[in-house]
Structure 1
Amino acid sequence: MPRASRSANSTRCSSGWPATSGAGSSTDRSRELRELTARATEREQDFIGRVLLGEMRTGALEGVLTDAIARAADRPGAVVRRAAMLSGDLGETARLALTGTAEALESVGLVVGRPVLPMLAATASTAAAALATTGEASVEYKLDGARIQVHRAGDEVRVFTRNLADVTHRLPEVVDVVRRLPVRDVILDGETLSLDEDGAPRPFQETMSRFGADAARETLLHPWFFDVLHVDGRDLLDEPLSTRLGELERIAGDYRIPGEVTDDPEVAERVSHDALAAGQEGVVVKAIGSPYAAGRRGSSWIKVKPVHTYDLVVLACEWGSGRRTGLLSNLHLGALDPTGEFGEPGQFVMVGKTFKGLTDALLTWQTEYFPQIEVRRTENTVWVAPTTVVEIAIDGVQRSSRYPGGIALRFARVKRYRDDKRSEEADTIQTLRALLRE
């Protein structure tokens, strides 16, 4: 069947900005872009070009943008922040703040079926230290899984990620669990992870592989919930955690994350040790009287998980982009293989990359130093003699077929360079592999 011809039409995209579609739209967009760049200064043209090419890294956090919106619209910051948190859409919040009425902005509320930004946690080195900040708290296992927010309205259930993406079709087992709960409407916050035959958590990458699948697989994901934001027409955001946990126990007790309410540091440490022994990441210490601060990171929730540090060797360094253009940035990291289990004895086995934790001073130093020990280079990478030891903090390792040692670092970041250590004193691939859960 022949298609009807269409002329270019001016519309608006989901963000509210003008867009064109149909025949001739490409010409119209090119003309509009030429007109825009003709009006722009040289610096503005550079900015526009980087945005269009995906090379612009502004580093602007949502909190900064939210405050900027409030200032530009002359609206109270607290009102704008709450609207952004409860709508989960900063762009729509900006449109409403700038073009809508004050009443419309203030009326933005919690809606079952519309995800909200999750409450975030600060960090502490020990459970006892966290408890000293929160006072009486619920000390809960921090699962090594994927965060989910589940909305149920009658029989309709939707599951969202921490970034508010709808993944309902990927998690039918979670949908089935929530449909069976003794409630009509509910919003739950929690995590999902895969378990082995003994009920212990499987490695993180197995959970994420299943979590990212567009179709159900044999591996099942088990939901665990640690908070409830709404129950049958009643919003609980501003209720204390003690009230929310009571409701959570009532409607989803069998799927509640393990934990204890205490003001005793010894009890908090015991729960932390129990969580680690069970194969979980650590604990989250939550002030028992705190409300649910959607999208905010404060001192009411504090996560505690062990951080491992290892001395590894720099094998190569990649040229940076954005604000790091012209600087050597992303490090290739290797662990010593003294026995030759993964190659020649005494060589280094690559276990991951990182650009995190690098200060401006370290970036400058790397850029000056690594070319001095360069052994070869490609367009984007400078390979160096394996003589430089760097202390790296990691949250653990995971199985990986990408690297010859069969593992990859998790959340690696630079702590410092170790001028006092020789490369043959670096940590071994066998030491890192021992971190794998068997």
Structure 2
Amino acid sequence: MLLADVVAASAAVAATRSRTAKAQAIAAALRAADPGEVGPVAAWLAGELPQGRVGVGWRTLARAAPPAAGAPSLTVAAVDATLTALAGTAGSGSAARREALLAELLAAATADEQRFLVRLVGGELRQGALEGVVLDAVAAAAGVPAPGVRRAMMLAGRLDETAALALGGGQEALSAVTLRVGRPVRPMLASPGSSLDAALADLGPDVTVEHKLDGARIQVHRDGHDVRVWTRTLREVTGGVPELVERVRALPCRTAVLDGETLALDDDGRPRAFQDTMSRFGSDGAAEDAAVLLSPFLFDVLHLDGRDLIDEPLSVRLDALAGLLAGDEHAPLRMPGVRRPTPEQAAAVLDEALGAGHEGVVVKALDAPYAAGRRGRAWQKVKPVHTLDLVVLGAEWGYGRRTGTLSNIHLGARDPDGGEPVMVGKTFKGMTDELLAWQTRTFPAHARAEHPWGLELEPELVVEIALDGAQRSPRYPGGVALRFARVLRYRPDKTAGQADDVEAVRALLAGD
């Protein structure tokens, strides 16, 4: 298969806003690919590299800009091999070798192919096909039910492998994908709840109500003496969190997959600032501030001593977790909470969480299996103030005492159909002088375009916004706008694909 065929499919995807049409274009490309090409094609059309980071930055991409080839000749296999070689280049002189490999690749590419490759390698390929659209396309191309593809993806954690399995072996191959200790699972996510009473009314009395911490999500796998830790984005940070490793290594089990949160506490047991917790997670997995100790709080178990629990209801998983942590009274690892509370008991859990300095509570249905990678209604997070994780789309130059700083930020919610984020408002509130300085230093590196009013940004940075609700508005393309939005903090632990979507904003409309 020629790279030109993938580029044409990418252009077709970008030319339509229809999720169905996007999936059909991708499915056609997958059917045309040879078995060994399916994985790379699926990943590329989702804007991903199967190799992950290949060690090439924008400066290298800008320098490696030879004249374009007159006719397409590059194959998918050849491009994939070069990207693998780029990712494996290390040691003395590696920068020069990478630049030479990249220049050779681009010299064989047409102008359209060059633009595609530069955006793909630079992480800027946004054609409106997020992972969910590509998974729908994989199901259509393979002629298998979409739920089976999604389940295999969440357990395998790799889009390219899942696509190759589906088209190569169908439903049988997908069904063979199971939870494996040592391979991280996409975390189950909670949807915003409008209030505690509303969450309880929605889910009924068969729930657990647990503290919602202002910490970092962790997934911990243990296989004998070996313990490994991953973040929400499935980045391994084992080397940077030795205290978490030791706590889990001391548990009375042989194998386990545990889900929870971790955060830094002060001497009084109250949570330190979110930034203090995140200082322990360096970009390479090493601790940036080893003086800040992390405390783990576990709230789920997906596997225990040879038994997979991921499809069991939460009540069964909590029983297993309680048995595992039963002898840990002096330094409890269990997330505080109450099962099947009365409304008064649930309110007391919320008061207790807020009094301890935490964000609120999560209400979870006890009959729900673990829906890896899903933000469903079975888990609902309740905070006294509405919060949303949104994408920064732009920033305006300030005036008055903010002259010279990038101040008023433009906020976008994720398009659930895979398009560009949908703008839902602006805010300059909640920004300290330190944060304004950080924005002014950081935003230019993410600029898509520069205007007299400020910068238009690539949709990469996620910010947590507090707001009083939402209102209908013809001013923005989504028909909805934020009310009294203010910045709480930036979320380096989240990607733009994990931001809240526009439906989460619409759910806050008064009376809806």
The TM-score normalised by the length of structure 2 is 0.60
Amino acid at match of 1:141: H
CA–CA separation in structure 2 for the residues paired with 1:398 and 1:257: 32
Amino acid at match of 1:241: L
Aligned to 2:81: 19
CA shift, 1:67, in A, is 1.4
Structure 1: runs of 5 or more not aligned: 1-10, 310-317, 321-328, 337-342, 367-389, 419-426, 434-438
Aligned to 2:457: none
CA shift, 1:88, in A, is 1.2
The partner residue of 2:344 within 232, 243, 266 is 266
The partner residue of 2:409 within 354, 366, 370 is 354
SS of 1:412's partner is strand
Q: Would the alpha carbon gap of residues 78 and 173 (structure 1) be closer, same or farther in structure 2, given more than 3 Å must change?
A: same
CA shift, 1:129, in A, is 0.7
Amino acid at match of 1:411: E
1:35-54 matches, within 5 Å, as 35-37=108-110, 47-54=116-123
Q: Would the alpha carbon gap of residues 399 and 197 (structure 1) be closer, same or farther in structure 2, given more than 3 Å must change?
A: farther
The partner residue of 2:179 within 99, 110, 124 is 110
CA–CA separation in structure 2 for the residues paired with 1:87 and 1:160: 15
CA–CA separation in structure 2 for the residues paired with 1:75 and 1:183: 38
Aligned to 2:372: 294
Greater Cα radius of gyration, structure 1 or 2: 1
- After superposition, the C-alpha distances for 1:197-235 in whole angstroms (9 at most, x for unaligned) are 011111111111123371461211001000000000000
Q: Does 1:184 align with 2:254?
A: yes
The partner residue of 2:357 within 279, 303, 313 is 279
CA–CA separation in structure 1 for the residues paired with 2:335 and 2:254: 22
User: Higher helix share goes to which structure?
Assistant: 2
Q: Does 1:152 align with 2:222?
A: yes
Q: In the alignment, is the contact (CA less than 8 A) between 2:280 and 2:290 conserved in 1?
A: yes
Q: Would the alpha carbon gap of residues 349 and 112 (structure 1) be closer, same or farther in structure 2, given more than 3 Å must change?
A: same
Aligned to 1:374: none
The TM-score normalised by the length of structure 1 is 0.69
1:395-410 matches, within 5 Å, as 401-403=434-436
Q: Would the alpha carbon gap of residues 400 and 178 (structure 1) be closer, same or farther in structure 2, given more than 3 Å must change?
A: farther
The partner residue of 2:264 within 164, 186, 194 is 194
CA–CA separation in structure 2 for the residues paired with 1:106 and 1:90: 15
Bigger Cα displacement from structure 2, 250-259 vs 148-157: 250-259
Q: Does 1:66 align with 2:138?
A: no
CA–CA separation in structure 1 for the residues paired with 2:286 and 2:107: 40
CA shift, 1:50, in A, is 3.4
The partner residue of 2:465 within 389, 396, 412 is 412
CA–CA separation in structure 2 for the residues paired with 1:349 and 1:257: 45
CA shift, 1:249, in A, is 1.0
Aligned to 2:281: 211
Aligned to 1:93: 162
Aligned to 2:448: none
- After superposition, the C-alpha distances for 1:145-169 in whole angstroms (9 at most, x for unaligned) are 0000000000100001111111000
Aligned to 1:339: none
Q: In the alignment, is the contact (CA less than 8 A) between 2:409 and 2:427 conserved in 1?
A: no
Q: In the alignment, is the contact (CA less than 8 A) between 2:119 and 2:125 conserved in 1?
A: yes
CA–CA separation in structure 2 for the residues paired with 1:178 and 1:150: 8
Aligned to 1:81: 150
CA shift, 1:84, in A, is 0.4
Q: In the alignment, is the contact (CA less than 8 A) between 2:190 and 2:377 conserved in 1?
A: yes
Q: Would the alpha carbon gap of residues 95 and 200 (structure 1) be closer, same or farther in structure 2, given more than 3 Å must change?
A: same
Amino acid at match of 2:370: Y
- After superposition, the C-alpha distances for 1:256-293 in whole angstroms (9 at most, x for unaligned) are 10111125333323222221121111111000111111
The partner residue of 2:197 within 103, 128, 133 is 128
Aligned to 1:314: none
What value does the CA root-mean-square deviation take over the aligned residues? 4.2
Amino acid at match of 1:245: L
Q: In the alignment, is the contact (CA less than 8 A) between 1:275 and 1:283 conserved in 2?
A: yes
SS of 1:84's partner is helix
CA–CA separation in structure 2 for the residues paired with 1:166 and 1:95: 25
CA shift, 1:134, in A, is 1.3
User: Higher strand share goes to which structure?
Assistant: 1
Q: Does 1:225 align with 2:294?
A: no
CA shift, 1:118, in A, is 0.3
What percent of counterpart residues are identical?
Answer: 48
CA–CA separation in structure 1 for the residues paired with 2:158 and 2:466: 30
Q: Would the alpha carbon gap of residues 54 and 292 (structure 1) be closer, same or farther in structure 2, given more than 3 Å must change?
A: closer
CA shift, 1:331, in A, is 4.3
CA shift, 1:31, in A, is 5.7
